[in-house]
Amino acid sequence: MQILKIIILLSFLSFFSGCSSTGGTIGGLFPAPKLLDGKIENNTYFSKDGDFSVSIPHKEDTYEYTYLQVKEQYGKFGTYISFGPAAIDQSIYRLEIGKKLSPESKNVDFDTAVESIIANYSKQLELGYKSQPSIIKKEKASVNGFNSYIVELTQKLPNQTFTHEVVITDYPTMAAIFWVQKSSIGQNKASINTMQFAKSFKVL
């Protein structure tokens, strides 16, 4: 399962290491410039290769966007992008893409792949935050006309609780994972929710 191996490798790298980060703050006080590989126009992020676009969670003319941190990681087999945290909103909107570059990867059983993706992400979250996430919802859906899964997990930490809202969609040329991490600390200031984030994704 080439595509599955690629997604597992990307999730390990992207969650806790190796990403190019831009935006956020300087010294915890002043907004840092966003020096992106891709670009943001009209509240939409466009990949550096021009092969996909997705809406950003905070509009460009807002205080939250001024302090929004963006991470990017591009590779041969896939891409990882995350938006957040921002000024007050501590949510992180993650998008991860695994490209289907071989005949084998295009014939992977989607249900099996989803099981492995969730198990692997959960393992990385547990290692990173020292707390085991629990699945509280998992159901099949259709997003933009393609087979998808909606999954929700909760993760309790000593000083806060994370809610992880996940949409995984099986596009013809790639698998897309939309993973939104929300914290019980701070306020939700995003202009879009998790499903709107997933539905805004376009293959160009």
Boundaries of domain holding 196:
2-203
In this predicted model, what pLDDT tens digit does every residue of 71-81 receive, in sequence order? 999 988 889 99
Question: Under 8 Å CB-to-CB from 131, ≥6 apart: which residues?
Answer: 125, 155, 156, 157
Q: How far is CA 56 from CA 65, 67, 97, 125, 153, in A?
A: 9, 13, 16, 23, 22
Count the domains in the chain.
Answer: 1
What is the DSSP secondary structure assignment for residue 105, as one 8-state letter? G
18, pLDDT greater than 70: no
Tally Cβ neighbours within 10 Å of residue 168: 25
DSSP β-bridge partners for residue 135: 153
Indicate which CATH number applies to the domain containing 50: 3.40.1000.10
In this predicted model, what pLDDT tens digit does every residue of 164-179 receive, in sequence order? 999 999 999 889 999 9
**Which pLDDT belongs to residue 13?**
43
Longest dimension (CA), the chain: 50
In this predicted model, what pLDDT tens digit does every residue of 89-138 receive, in sequence order? 999 999 999 887 666 666 778 898 899 889 888 988 898 899 999 999 99
